Amino acid sequence: MSTLTEQTHHSLIAGEPAPGTGGTTQAVDPARNTPTGPTFTLLGDGQVAAAPRAAAEAFPTYRKLTPEARAAFLETAAERIDRAGEEIIATAMRETGLPEPRLRGEVGRTVNQLRLFAGVCRAGDHHGVRIEPALPDRKPLPRPDLRQRKLPLGPVAVFGASNFPLAFSVAGGDTASALAAGCPVVFKAHNAHPATSLLVGQAMSAAVAEHDLHPGVFSLVFGPGNAVGQELVADPRIKAVGFTGSRSGGTALMATAATRREPIPVYAEMSSVNPVFVLPSAAAGDREALAEGFVTSLNGSAGQLCTAPGLLFVPEGADGDDLAARIAEKLSAADGTTMLTPGICSSRIEGEKKLAALDGVTEVGRGGAGPKENAPAPAVYSTGLETFTATPELSDEIFGAVCLIVRYGSADQLPSAANGLEGQLTVTLQTGTGADRDADAGSDTASENRVVQELLDALELRAGRVLFNGWPTGVDVGDAMVHGGPYPATSDGRSTSVGAAAIERFLRPVVYQNAPGPLQPAPVREDNPWNLGRRVEGTYVAADGRGQSPAEKGEHMAEGDSA
Ligand code: NAP
């Protein structure tokens, strides 16, 4: 049974409904172009301040929770979202046009992310403890007792994207990592999926209440990003921002955060065209599999994935021609599916028109429009490498299933083309079996292997994830994942928004010098009450107390050294 039985719903500030004075909104079912679901009031001028105020009140106690208490809270949130899964999926299908299997997968991912961060809390590596006991007899100067650990930054404002209504939304990766770090969260709901947002927000607030936490640990606010969102980021009680969405939205928030009296970090995941380089040996290989893999990756979720391949570098000549022809053939059998909002659909159509009108750009192939509203045909265009390098607009993201094939004459041209690219979430090398072969095997292989190495040297400086012989869509959420990259993929390429390491964004180090034992916080205390792995006198000591030298841990090795 639906929990959203009322006709009108409101923001949820510190667990309580907060009627807004800024008008109302209702979601649009993009498959039918009709309004759907209840009405939501939007916060008016000054109203959003109640959420950061409550978050700031919650921070002193929330940040001091034990690892176990914080982990248990995150697990309850996961459990509650899981239990509400069927209603969340049905609601999100109406609000986003995304198909059920995709949304079912996203509920699973959201729940698993919360559980992943519960595990991160328990493992405790993020406390980053480093201890150097006092050396009173050290010459020429004694050393003080130094104990470093990492602290949460404070309340975090989080903005989610329309294309991940669950995994990058109310209880998505940014929220989970901020809460795991010890930061209360104020989430600015995306106006494209308000009912989905409220259902998840209710689950979050119920988990807060179930664990007797201060209700300000989590708030959900409705309102236009360029008013309520801006006001939230300008609020002096907010200490960091997590954002996933458009380049224009992300840069607008960066500007606000940078011009505050106290500037704060903004971790914004924005735009990426995810170039894929098909090397000559790959083009000489299984072109049918390449064409199939590419079209599936391009057209999945109507191309509305931040990792969708928007640029495909293909060699000139017979192999490249045949690959392009196979892509056109597969594409002709592919239908468009409903996009997230009518606005996103019209931007995508405009983007394609602009691309098609550029000199030197020709259409390779297209699919069919989908049977429902807002479902344009997937399309692929082509240009030459010279035109591509001379036309910066050709590297712009078109959010949707549109890709540009760039034909190159010689693989030797690729490293310099790669050097001209903007920052990306992903780059992919299709090397076929070329890069696995012995460099001495033959001159063609040796020369391609050299190019692949040069390309890799250029690309690893431009992306958060480098893939070999695969397709960039589909992000594995785990300990080692990086979903980030240099600007404009993200506003700060030093971190990741997906995976366990995302917690680092919401922490900062502090060192206690000569702190008396009773005043030392638990992570750095001599008796190690939280049983954390810690670095003592430069040597990592595992949680079970066993000392390991840096060499045993495999640390401090230069790239290329063997273990
Ligand atoms: P969006 O329009 O930027 O919206 C994201 C959120 O930011 C919404 O809550 C929006 O509020 C708010 N917002 C927009 N402009 C703002 C401004 N000037 N000031 C303050 N807040 C603002 O993005 P979207 O349409 O949801 O998502 C599509 C885009 O996201 C695509 O370009 C895609 O590539 C990118 N994306 C990137 C990643 C990644 O990881 N890099 C992942 C997914 C999507 P309203 O609700 O009022 O619009």
Verify that 313 and 449 share a domain, yes or no: yes
Output the CA 159–ligand 1 centroid distance in Å. Answer: 8
Instruction: State the distance from the centre of ligand 1 to the C-alpha of 246, rounded, in angstroms.
Output: 4
Q: Quote the CA–CA distance of 220 and 190 in Å, as a whole number.
A: 10
Q: Is residue 559 part of a domain?
A: yes
pTM of structure: 0.94
* Domain total in the chain: 2
**Nearest-10 crossing angle of helices 173-181, 100-123:** 20
Q: Among 408, 434, 468, where does a domain finish? A: 468
Give residue 437's pLDDT: 54
**Which of 166, 174, 244 most suits a substitution to test ligand 1, by most atoms within 8 Å of the C-beta?**
244
**Residue 463 contacts by C-beta under 8 Å, 6 or more apart in sequence?**
423, 424, 425, 426, 427, 485, 486, 489
162 lines ligand 1 (CB under 6 A): yes
Is the C-beta atom of 270 inside 6 A of ligand 1? Answer: yes
CATH classification of the domain holding 365 = 3.40.309.10
Written as one letter, the residue type at 463 is: A
Q: Dig out the tokens for 402 from the structure.
A: 């549109």
Ligand 1 centroid to 537 CA: how many Å? 45
Query: If DSSP codes are grouped into helix, strand and coil, which group holds residue 368?
Result: strand
Is the beta carbon of 274 within 6 A of some atom in ligand 1? no
Note whether 164 and 300 are same-domain residues.
no
Same domain, 290 and 436: yes
Q: Ligand 1 centre from 465 Cα, in Å?
A: 22
- The CA-atom distances, in angstroms, between 12 and each of 18, 92, 203, 223 are 6, 19, 11, 12
- Give a yes or no: residue 199 inside a domain: yes
482 touches ligand 1 (CB under 6 Å): no
266 and 289 in a common domain: no
Same domain, 240 and 363: no
Which positions ≥6 away from 280 have C-beta within 8 Å? 315, 319, 411, 434, 444, 448
Q: How many CB atoms lie within 10 A of CB 22?
A: 17
**347, 508, 545 from 67: Cα distances, Å:** 45, 17, 18
Do both 262 and 288 map to the same domain?
no
CATH number of the structural domain spanning residue 140: 3.40.605.10
Radius of gyration of the chain (CA): 25
Q: What range does the domain containing 161 cover?
A: 48-270+490-563
Write out the two tokens for 533.
């792995």
> Does residue 259 fall inside a structural domain?
yes
**Assigned domain for 301 exists:** yes
- Spell out the SS3 assignment of 313-331: EEECCHHHHHHHHHHHHHH
**239 and 349 belong to one structural domain:** no
Q: Are residues 176 and 66 in the same domain?
A: yes
Given the structure tokens 């050299």, which residue do they identify? 450
The predicted structure's pLDDT at residue 552: 44
Q: Could you read off the pLDDT tens digit of each residue along the chain, which spans 563 residues?
A: 457 877 999 999 999 999 999 999 999 999 999 999 999 999 999 999 999 999 999 999 999 999 999 999 999 999 999 999 999 999 999 999 999 999 999 999 999 999 999 999 999 999 999 999 999 999 999 999 999 999 999 999 999 999 999 999 999 999 999 999 999 999 999 999 999 999 999 999 999 999 999 999 999 999 999 999 999 999 999 999 999 999 999 999 999 999 999 999 999 999 999 999 999 999 999 999 999 999 999 999 999 999 999 999 999 999 999 999 999 999 999 999 999 999 999 999 999 999 999 999 999 999 999 999 999 999 999 999 999 999 999 999 999 999 999 999 999 999 999 999 999 999 999 998 755 555 555 567 778 889 999 999 999 999 999 999 999 999 999 999 999 999 999 999 999 999 999 999 999 999 999 999 999 999 999 999 999 999 999 999 998 765 554 444 444 333 333 32
Mapped onto helix, strand or coil, the DSSP state of residue 165 is coil
Task: Give the integer Cα–Cα distance in Å for 276 and 426.
Answer: 9
**8 A C-beta contact, residue 52 and residue 171:** no
Q: Establish if 10 belongs to a structural domain.
A: no
- Are both 313 and 432 inside the same structural domain? yes
Examine residue 112 and state whether it is found in any structural domain, yes or no: yes
Strands of 97-207 (E only): list them: 130-132, 146-152, 156-159, 185-188
513 within a domain of the structure (yes/no):
yes
- Say whether the peptide bond before residue 263 is cis (omega within 30 degrees of 0): no
Ligand 1 pocket: which of 163, 246, 256, 398 to mutate (most atoms <8 Å of CB)? 246
Last residue of a domain, one of 468, 501, 518: 468
Q: Do 221 and 256 sit in the same domain of this protein?
A: yes
Q: Looking at the structure, tell me whether residues 81 and 229 fall in a common domain.
A: yes
Query: Which residues are 40's β-sheet partners?
Result: 9, 25
Helix or strand holding residue 27 (H, E): strand 24-29
- Asked, for residue 4, whether it belongs to a domain, the answer is no
Q: Is 465 in the pocket of ligand 1 (CB under 6 A)?
A: no
Which tokens hold the place of 532? 């954390």
272 CB contacts (<8 Å, ≥6 apart)?
306, 307, 310, 397, 423, 424, 425, 426, 485, 488, 489
| Pair (200, 282) in one structural domain | no
For ligand 1, whether the C-beta of 159 sits within 6 Å is: yes
Q: What is the pLDDT of residue 438?
A: 56
Structural element, H or E, at residue 106: helix 100-123
Instruction: Give the Cα separation of 158 and 152 in Å (integer).
Output: 15
**Bridge partners, residue 146, by sequence:** 132, 513
Catalytic residues: 269, 306
